[in-house]
Amino acid sequence: MPGRTAEDILSLEYQTVLTAFAGSRCLLGFDFDGTLAPVARDPDQAEIRPRTRGLMAELCLLYPCVVISSRSRSNLRLRVRGLRFKGVVPAEARHQGRALERERARLRCDTAIYLGDGGADEAVFKLDQPGRLLTIRMGQKEGSCADFCLRGQGQVDRLLRRLIALRRRPGVPSTQPGSA
């Protein structure tokens, strides 16, 4: 639905949407630059902030998580070293949306949440699969196809904290495929 205005996913009124996804076999997909890490003038200096990294470490134990980026696999691996991502996907010359679909099938997930800051991420935002795919953009942008937004990259930690809390609720099983 291009042209609509995406709402803030952290608004209380959308808590039920996040809760439903968190309670399903849900894949979490992340873009890197401008999403997990603030955009850096020199791409070699882009780093996940320590607080975000701590939250991601926890999140990777609660959900299958993948990072999809136009960086090369080796460059991306270096940047997310120490984090237990189930997939590190270089999307060079490929379609970010198809990359996410492939990862969702490979990891046997029913649903996915994808977080990105636009550009190539629009290919994911355009998939438009209500109830199966929840797309979140860093910041609002007119014309973006994302379902929801965060008010900025600084809100990523709040979203990660909320996703952790939702999986930690009593009665919500971990749906990590392949976990022993």
> What b/e readout covers 106-143, taking b as 16+ CB neighbours within 10 angstroms?
ebebebbbbbbbbebbbbbbebeeeeebbbbbbbbeee
Instruction: Take residue 132 and report the two structure tokens written for it.
Output: 């199966």
Applying CB under 5 A, among 31, 103, 122, 147 the residue interacting with Mg ion is 31
Applying CB under 5 A, among 18, 25, 30, 34 the residue interacting with Mg ion is 34
**Alpha carbon distances (Å) from 6 to 3, 40, 50, 134:** 9, 26, 29, 12
Backbone angles phi, psi at 155, to 5 degrees: -90, -5
Q: Residue 117, interface with Mg ion (CB under 5 A)?
A: yes
Applying CB under 5 A, among 18, 21, 30, 33 the residue interacting with Mg ion is 33
Nearer to Mg ion, 31 or 122 (CB): 31
In the complex, minimum distance from the CB of residue 71 to Mg ion, in angstroms, rounded to a whole number: 10
* Choices 14-22, 28-36, 55-63, 94-102; region in contact with Mg ion by CB under 5 A: 28-36
Q: What is the dihedral of CA 84, 99, 96, 6, to 10 degrees?
A: -80
* Choices 9-17, 113-121, 127-135, 139-147; region in contact with Mg ion by CB under 5 A: 113-121
Instruction: Take residue 39 and report the two structure tokens written for it.
Output: 């955009």
Q: Residue 122, interface with Mg ion (CB under 5 A)?
A: no
Q: Name the nearest CA neighbour of 113 among 163, 51, 168, 178.
A: 163
Q: How many residues bind Mg ion (CB under 5 A)?
A: 4
* Choices 8-16, 27-35, 49-57, 151-159; region in contact with Mg ion by CB under 5 A: 27-35
Residue type at 166? L
Nearer to Mg ion, 117 or 122 (CB): 117
Q: Residue 87, interface with Mg ion (CB under 5 A)?
A: no
Which residue is nearest to Mg ion, using beta carbons?
A: 34
Residues that bind Mg ion (CB under 5 A): 31, 33-34, 117
